[in-house]
Amino acid sequence: MADKTKMIKSNATKKLSKTTTKSLPQSEVKKLDMSQTRAKKIKHSYHVKDPENSLLLKLKDGDVIIEMFPDDAPNHVARIKELVRAEFYNGLKFHRVIDGFMAQTGCPYGTGIGGSGKKLKAEFNKRPHKRGTVSMARAMMPDSADSQFFICFDNCDWLNGQYTVWGEVTDGMAFVDKIKRGHGANGMVDDPDEIISLSVIADL
């Protein structure tokens, strides 16, 4: 278990020779004119408790809904929404993916060594790391989380109380399961899958 805990620490991440990420070209983003009524129907087609604290994650295989926990990790949720609304995550890679464990993203360089430049104070809570849990990656120091996060493929109890859980996949986990896996103990991925887009559902 100790070895698995170390896997998520970014200081153990090996640098890749290619340190650039492929952003989604604006030409590929389809902007359709639609009425406010249709837009409202689309928004309400996602069955979530709180659209302001729910995310729509678009992956190559389908849409994923993430419901966030503002009561358990208020500062993390607020920062994630700030980054999402700035389109920070669009086009970022799932650079580190370990089968049976987790898929990690949120590094602007696609290597696991970068972030947004703003560290977050840990908000460890009682939420367990289980299948579908969305939690913040960090380095050795507890207050070193930035923009990188991971989605658990399975139960990861050894992480409980050590990483800030801020959300949970409530729909589309089958599409998360299809994210391209990495290789080796560190799970680094060759030609990794990307986040097509990440949006706050209230903004749709």
Domains detected in the chain = 56-203 (2.40.100.10)
Q: What is the mean pLDDT of residues 38-63?
A: 84
Distance, in Å, from the CA atom of 67 to the CA atom of 167, rounded to the nearest integer, reads 5
* Percent with pLDDT over 90 in the chain: 76
pLDDT at 37: 56
* Averaged pLDDT for residues 83-111: 98
Per-residue 3-state assignment (H helix, E strand, C coil) for 111-133: CCCCCCCCCECCCCCCCCCCCCE
pLDDT value for 23? 42
Longest dimension (CA), the chain: 53
Average pLDDT in the chain: 86
Task: Using the predicted structure, report yes or no on whether residue 16 has a pLDDT greater than 60.
Answer: no
Report residue 45's pLDDT band, with 50, 70 and 90 as the boundaries: confident
Q: Which residue has the tokens 């493929």?
A: 153
Of 144, 150, 142, the closest CA to residue 167 belongs to: 150
Q: Is the pLDDT of residue 108 over 70?
A: yes
> Given this model, what pLDDT does residue 35 score?
57
Residue 98 has pLDDT above 60, yes or no: yes
